[in-house]
Copies of this chain bind each other. A is one copy, B any other.
Amino acid sequence: MRVTVNRKAHFNAAHRLFRPEWTAEKNEAVFGKCSNPNYHGHNYDLVVSVTGEIDPITGFVMDMKLLKDLIKTEIEDVFDHKNLNVDVPEFKDLNPTSENIVVIIWNKLRAKINKAHDLTVTLYETPRNYVSYSGT
């Protein structure tokens, strides 16, 4: 009897998409206006989904206050009001596309969540563009 619990969070960040070894022209051709060297930004919305058995005493799969706090310390405190390219070490050599960001977030949370639980992370770059990752 496995139930999935989901918690929404968000952070606001700047980023740009580019490959440092490419010319400005090639970056513009591949990444379009997302490669603006002066950065642009997003209100990122995040859904963290944890699947597991219901604890028969509490009725919880996982205490949502703990999950909320975990998202705050592991993700929001690190990403919110930051420049992903400049301020977040994981993106020093990794292009901060939504796909790469969602994998980084999944890895950070996976390390802190009970191994008996499955984990999926969904990241909205905009209400029209979003990605999800389950670790496989």
Contact = CB atoms under 8 A, between A and B. Distances in A.
Contact of A43 (B7, B42, B57, B65): B42
Contacts of A127: 8, 43
B40 A132 contact: no
Contacts of A97: 54, 58-60
Interface string A1-33: 111111111101111010100000000001111
A6 to B, nearest CB: 5
Interface of A: 1-10, 12-15, 17, 19, 30-34, 36, 38-43, 54, 57-61, 64-65, 80-83, 86-87, 94-100, 102-103, 126-133, 136
